[in-house]
Amino acid sequence: MSKRFEAYPYVWRLPLLIWQGLFFVGPLILMVAMSFWLVRNYRMEPDFVLKNWDRMLGRDYFWNAYWVTLWRATLAGVLASLIAFPASYALAFRVSETTRRWAIFFLIVPFFTSYLVRVYAWQVLLAESGPINAVLGFGGLGPFTMLNSGFGAMVGYMTLVLPLVVILQTFSLAAIDRNLIEAAWNLGASPRETLFQVILPAARIGLILGATFAFILSFGDFVSPFYLGGSKPPTLSILIIDTTKSGQQWPRAAVVAIMMIATLFVAAFAAVGAAYGRRK
Amino acid sequence: MTRSTFTLSRRRLLAGAAGAALTTPMINRAWAADPVQINMLAWYGHAEPDIVAEFEAANNVKFVPKYYAGGDNMLGLIAQSPPGTYDLILSDAEFVQQLNMAGYIEEMDPSLYPFDDFWPEYQKFPGHWTDDQLWSVMVRFGLLGVSYNSDVMTREEAMSYNAFWNPKITGKLGHFDWHLPSLGQISLLNGNRDPSPFDISEDAWEAVMEKTLSLKPQVGGYFDYGGTFASLKNGEMLAMAGIGDWITGVLQKDGAPVASVIPEEGGIQWTESYSIGKGTTKHEIINKFINYMLSPEGQVKSIKMAAYPGLSPLKSGWKAIQEADPAEAKRSGLIEGDDQSPIKLLSEGRLFFRDIPRQQDLEDWNDFWSEYKTA
Amino acid sequence: MRPSDIAFRLYLVALFTFVFLPILTSMVFSLNSDRFPTVPLGEVTTHWYETAFSRPEVWTAFGNSLIVAVCAAALSTTLGFVTAYTDFRYGFRFKPAYLALALLPPTIPLVIMGLAMLAWLGRLGISGTLPGIIVAHTVMGAPFAMAICRLRLSQMDPALEAAAWNLGASQWRAMRAVVIPFCLPALISAYCLTAAVSFDEFIVAWFVSGLNKTVPVMILEILQGNVDPQINAIGTVVFLTSMALVIIAQLLILRKTNA
């Protein structure tokens, strides 16, 4: 290729830089700047004060919300992975190609229904006077309080993330070379050994990605902890919304947001490291 | 009327879709034109068809609402919008002063409104006037007390705010997720009546915080407007702090076993008022609408508003509802001398206007509320 | 069939029940007469559909949603394809940073995106307008479009493009004659997927939309306001609309790949 300047590569390279620079990096930088601003009479004024950081990070309620959110998102990641795995395993190894294709199709369907509407449906289903308690009542159980609790929020998180986790796990399991598994069998490995020493390591990337997405989505979600968890206790997303509502305290909301992003980046990089890092 | 707008809109929709196919994002500007558009900032329900449809049809206007929940939220929304975005602002009375101070509203001409027809108690509502300048016109109000599930709790048990600590509702007490009404009620329980549960010393504020925190084990959740409805209706919550008939009245009509009372310690009055957004060009039609809402016809609509009922501050409003719906007039005490009559409660000193904290910063109350929620 | 197969099948049925229960519930309650949904059910009625769709605002919201989805999907797909092609063809300094920029948006919680977008678009003077929502949804949709296009490109033999050059085609010509036709199915699915993402997104749109509401923002406002089975009616229609989009996309792709 000649040395003279060529426009062609830049036509492909630049749009993303311009667009995401203008509309993704820009807003985030503004948000960081905003966290140092002052609010007077419900109006923000550019400034450089540490007051917002001091105020938010010095409060118990911020840290309570932080640990609750972190704990719940971790739990959601682990639970979703565990619940999804048998299903993904079955889809990858125990059903026909056609069934698998249909199953994946049906797992994509939920992405096209409004998450809000599904959460609202859970509100009805999980109510103390709702259908699930009615069914349990026939068996002489309950009624259980499921709404406005950590359990309710977790049901919401699963609604949000399970289909995605199953899809990711299924793809990575189905991609495992069958010969590898057969070889393990032939060498006399037990099913348990095959699972832990062959299948899980081989599907590592998909499994970790699935758990990570579940973590990220649950960490940032505000709908489930609010409408199914009853804000009891509030998570960081709810805290952000509360803070913007109360007296125009956007700078403080920005502090919470930055703390959330920092946490997510750490988690994401750790996950990528674990997934793609040293292989055996 | 519904029919014609319906087909018209569908045609517009098709036009919009066709335009969109050309991926020209500005196309929607062209089809937001014909009737005069009035942008209203309000609590949920104020621009719904049961309130505005007739006025819209008669005057060829269209209300476009932005709904908020809570005064702080409202101020935030205005601050985030370019000046002149909202023509008409329905605000909680205690936030009119803030709106005024921040320069979001215009002065109003008192001669345009029927102040002689207001009950004297409501003619000069605090914060609506600076000397003789008028900034806002009260349109409706309601009472906040103890709201409870009548299958579980009796009216007598609910007659004190101590009902919130009743072991029968442990884990089943809901909060409307806004600090002013809930903390105001605790303040009343603590005996802060003079001059108002919102005008309290630092010591009294400490006591309110302590008392509130002791309520935490009872709490089952914190709800927005919709969540408050749903959780009382499906029995998820058996009592609710910070609300009143504006929620339970709607549920009662739907057959739910819920009720609200003004307890011995006294009740809190919420008040909604119209202000004119600074920078609007539609003064004439807005004044016409405000007068329409203050007329007997408008007041009956407001009293029976589908989203949540509100009481009338006008004598002619009371008369109108007594004629139009005697049962509703009786239910909400809009009859002179009735023992539930708000005018009577006011004269007995059992009713206090909801207010912003007078001796603390609003921020302190806000902060404490966040703390309470995560405690 | 092995006993374990039966167990696995039961497990799958249970999982799919969990996933579809809320969807079916909302459809059932959209036809139920009670104002607040409880069991036992009331009568069957189309009342909520009639109420919802006789409101001009609902039609306006559908119009807004459609415009936003159509435009945001076009922009996201273009951006996604362009980026995927860069990644496929070129290596350059700072490429990891470039890719991070391309793929990071989905890791930012929506609430934060909404907050940051509103502040930023407000400064640019396009908050509260449909272009504002389109911009936001494009930022969110582009990574998905990029992933889909990149996957398709990785199935393309790089020699194919080179062969076209050797036959004398300019880079532009090769792009038009070889790369784009090869990627067409991916472009179509990327378009449909990003349109659907935009059509269902409510948090960022809620922050940014101002008075120009989209359908999901309207659903959120009903949920925050007068909780009312119109939610289910509108939700069901949204679901059927999005599904129609997906199925059309699937059919198009199948026809392409079979041809």
A 187-206 → C contacts, CB under 8 A: none
Task: Report which secondary-structure segment, H or E, holds B298.
Answer: helix B296-303
Note whether A121 contacts C26, CB cutoff 8 Å. yes
Is pLDDT at A75 greater than 90 in this prediction? yes
Note whether C242 contacts A113, CB cutoff 8 Å. yes
pLDDT for A208: 94
B266 by Cβ neighbours in 10 Å (0-12 / 13-18 / 19+) ranks as buried
What is d(CA B102, CA B341) in angstroms, rounded to the nearest whole number?
35
Note whether B229 contacts C35, CB cutoff 8 Å. no
- Strand B267-276 and strand B137-149: the pairing is antiparallel
pLDDT for B74: 87
Token output for C237: 């229609």
Tell me C35's DSSP state.
Answer: S
pLDDT for A34: 93
ipTM of the complex: 0.90
Q: Which of B4, B78, B80 to substitute to test the interface with C, most C CBs within 10 Å? A: B80
Nearest CB to B98 within list A42, A124, A233: A42
Task: Find all residues with CB under 8 Å of A269, minimum gap 6, and list them.
Answer: none
Token output for B311: 């009481």
Q: Does A2 or A223 have the greater pLDDT score?
A: A223
Tell me A35's DSSP state.
Answer: T
Which residues of chain B are modeled with pLDDT < 50?
1-32
pLDDT for B76: 78
What is d(CA C227, CA C36) in angstroms, rounded to the nearest whole number?
8
Per residue in B19-33, pLDDT (tens digit) is 444 333 333 434 445
pLDDT for B5: 37
- Considering only CA atoms, which of B16, B53, B13 is closest in space to residue B35? B53
- Hey, CA dihedral for A44, A45, A48, A54, is it positive or negative? negative
For residue B9, list chain C residues with Cβ-Cβ distance below 8 A: 56, 59-60
Note whether B79 contacts A227, CB cutoff 8 Å. no
Q: CB count, 10 Å around CB of A116?
A: 21
What is d(CA B316, CA A1) in angstroms, rounded to the nearest whole number?
88
Q: CB count, 10 Å around CB of A205?
A: 17
CB B220 within 8 A of CB B173: yes
pLDDT for B25: 37
pLDDT for B33: 52
pLDDT for C77: 97
Residue A148, chain B, CB below 8 Å: the answer is yes
The average confidence (pLDDT) of chain A is: 90
Nearest CA in chain A to C244: A112
- Considering only CA atoms, which of A173, A157, C194, A226 is closest in space to residue B228? A226
pLDDT mean by block of 10 residues, chain C; 259 residues? 86 95 92 77 88 88 94 97 94 90 90 92 88 95 92 88 89 91 90 87 89 90 82 90 76 62
pLDDT for B20: 41
Is pLDDT at A5 greater than 80 in this prediction? no
Question: In this structure, what is the dihedral angle of CA atoms B354, B358, B364, B368, given to the nearest 10 degrees?
Answer: -40
pLDDT for B170: 94
Task: Find all residues with CB under 8 Å of A111, minimum gap 6, and list them.
Answer: A163, C196, C197, C200
- Considering only CA atoms, which of B334, B354, B278, B270 is closest in space to residue B43? B270
pLDDT for C210: 82
Per residue in A135-157, pLDDT (tens digit) is 888 888 878 889 899 999 999 99
CA–CA–CA angle A83, A86, A91 (5° rounding): 120
Q: Does C245 or A180 have the greater pLDDT score?
A: A180
Nearest CA in chain A to C5: A94
